[in-house]
A and B are shown apart, each in its own frame.
Chain A
Amino acid sequence: MDFRPSEDQQALRHGIREVLEARFGPEALRAAVEAPALDRELWRALGDAGFFALCLPEDAGGVGLGLPEAVLAFEEAGRVLLPGPAVATFLAAGEIEGAAAGETVVTAAEGALVPWLAGADVVRGDTGGAVAVRSVDPLTPLHRVPEAPDTGTRRPAPLGSGAQGPDTLGPGATASLLRAAEQLGSATRTCETAVRYARTREQFGGPVGRFQAVQHLCADMLVRAELARVAVYAAAVTGDRLEAAGARLLADDAAVRNARDCLQVHGGMGFTWESDVHLHLKRAWVRAGLGAGARRAEEDLAAAL
């Protein structure tokens, strides 16, 4: 047993981070906020780097890796707030022509929401009656589809047959786990951002990070991110449905609450449009709102006891 990422896995993560930093740095992020549109060049660059085909077998043109590598890649996507329906495109690789290469952008109705409906080339699932909403996240256009007529439960995610991902999870749970990985990346990033700000912002004659009230917010952020990390990684390794549900709960919690605490550490700056903190919070809310939701995960975990 050696649960830590191997050297190869760390190298893969590093490679993805380099691509993302080169193609989608802080300036590109702000440009995307002001003019939200799918960056096809970025999408193709990710395709060239193998991002969408990580888990496709090599004889199908993929990289032939597993879900643990995929969660590391999506963690990096979450760190930089990569816009676009990356999870649905990843799951469509090997099924829909061009998805693996990043040529074809695929989205899907997940629960009551469809991200990037207008910008995508292929839309999976029933989006009948979809209405555009003014999305809280400037980087994720959203459409709303009517709820299924029964007891308010949401529609199952029509994410295809799940060519990528272990059989045990199925496409819905795989999508959920990859989203949890994005949440983990965001939670780690907001923790780092808060710590950097607390080290440099000076009040009362020194950095605010010397105050325990600020330190304890930051420490709790790290604890949330690290617990989410082991949950996400373990679910990716075991392919266990319940571990994936638990990972989603912990990662949603870490991403949302870390963004909130990061905002708090930034004081007035945290409340501005100019700061990136609100982008993490809003994306974390959107990710948490896609798919089956926390209630379902909690009920599944309780039922298994």
Chain B
Amino acid sequence: MDLTYTPEEEAFRAGLRDWLARVLPELPDRPAPDDWPGRRAYDTGWQRTLYDAGYGEVHWDASPTLRLIFLEETEKAGAPYVGANFVGLLHAGPTIAAEGTPEQRARWLPPVLRGDEVWCQGFSEPDAGSDLASLRTRACRDGDCYVVSGAKIWTSHAEVADWCELLVRTTPVSADVPKHRGITWLALPMDAAGVTVRPLRTLAGTTEFAEVFLDEVRVPVANRVGAQDDGWRVSMVTLSFERGTAFVGEVVACRRLLGELAARARANGSWDDAVLRRRIGRLSAEFTALWRLTQWNVSGARRTGGVPGSGGSVFKLRYSHARQELYEAAADVLGPDALDLDRPWVLERLSALSYTIAAGTSQIQRNIVAERVLGLPKGR
């Protein structure tokens, strides 16, 4: 059990800190949550800055430990997170890097790293959420194209994306073909004819995601990553990335928020409430442990060649609930101000409600843990 870093890793950390201290004061103001073109420009501009400084590939090629240090230091310094580059950097990019041909990697990866192209994710459908494998968007082969028709939902960043990592059904489910087979992974250009994006408004009032309608959209066969009908396996690579280190920065931010909460509570008198104070003390233990769990998971990934293991589901289950509890405690510190949308933490309290749903609900995560980690029989 070793929590120390090598001299090379410490040098990387020190260099990154210096660079952040120089670069961050010159960043423009963050755009409003509903200003999607502004958000795209801001997020891709930050990615370009990282690329020019040599940090562009830190999510892919760096060791898991360097990635952890990168996420820790950028969050501590208050730097932007991946934002609109989330899917490109953490889902589609790693998938293409792992499963794509040399030509596909050369076509799609550099623009993501340079902040030139933005990706979104077309996995969920109106009738395929937790039961993702029952997706029905059809793709029929026609010459050197697939003709795709169907509807996707909860597609984040769809309004400003250039590409969509799309799961489609190429072989219908039958007695011989279970639903996990017959799915294919395609890169869909969002400007193709027949693609319609309809923004969805979240309960927080913002348009964080969208529905995407596909009406006989022609996608070149060359845009298929992996074999036809093998898309389920290909997509699982991305999902385990998502549950691996994607939330590291947020845990760092939550630990900082705990300090801010305590300061606010001391200032407004709610710190005198022993029950609230002790709840916040316990949350501090919780988030410190979640940070240690990320180090534990990264150490495990080091041994298994970089692919995150089951620790991701354990982390996501606990973190999503802890985040919600944190903002409930924040609301109790705020008192009546918790009902004022212009106060800090109030919108975040609303956004936190998505954490036990997005990227696999807590219920599905428990199924995964029970069946794949604990080896319980297939559920019903």
Contacts and interface: CB of A to CB of B under 8 A. Distances in A.
A binds B: yes
Interface of A: 1-6, 9, 68, 191, 195, 198-199, 206-207, 209-212, 214-216, 218-220, 222-223, 226-231, 233-234, 236-238, 242-243, 245-247, 249-250, 295, 297-305
Interface of B is mostly: helix
A246 B285 contact: yes
B262 A295 contact: no
Given A210-B380, A302-B281, A227 B318 contact: yes
B103 interface: no
Given A1-B4, A212-B379, A230 B292 contact: yes
Contact of A302 (B2, B284, B374): B284
Interface string B270-286: 00000001111110111
Contacts of B9: 1
Given A5-B1, A246-B285, A218 B314 contact: no
Interface in B178-211: none
B284 A246 contact: yes
A293 to B, nearest CB: 11
A237 B295 CA distance: 13
Interface stretch (B214-222, B233-241, B365-373): B365-373
A4 B369 contact: no
Interface string B348-380: 000000000000000101110111011111111
Nearest to B284: A301
Given A246-B289, A250-B286, A223 B1 contact: no
Contacts of A226: 293, 311, 314
Contact of B2 (A2, A245, A297): A2
A214 B258 CA distance: 34
A21 B35 CA distance: 64
Contact of A3 (B299, B365, B373): B299
A1 B3 contact: yes
Nearest to A249: B285
Nearest to B64: A1
Contacts of A297: 281, 285
Interface in B330-361: none
Contact of A299 (B1, B259, B277, B289): B277
Given A216-B370, A246-B285, A305-B259, A236 B1 contact: yes
Contact of B1 (A6, A195, A218, A231): A6
B1 A209 contact: no
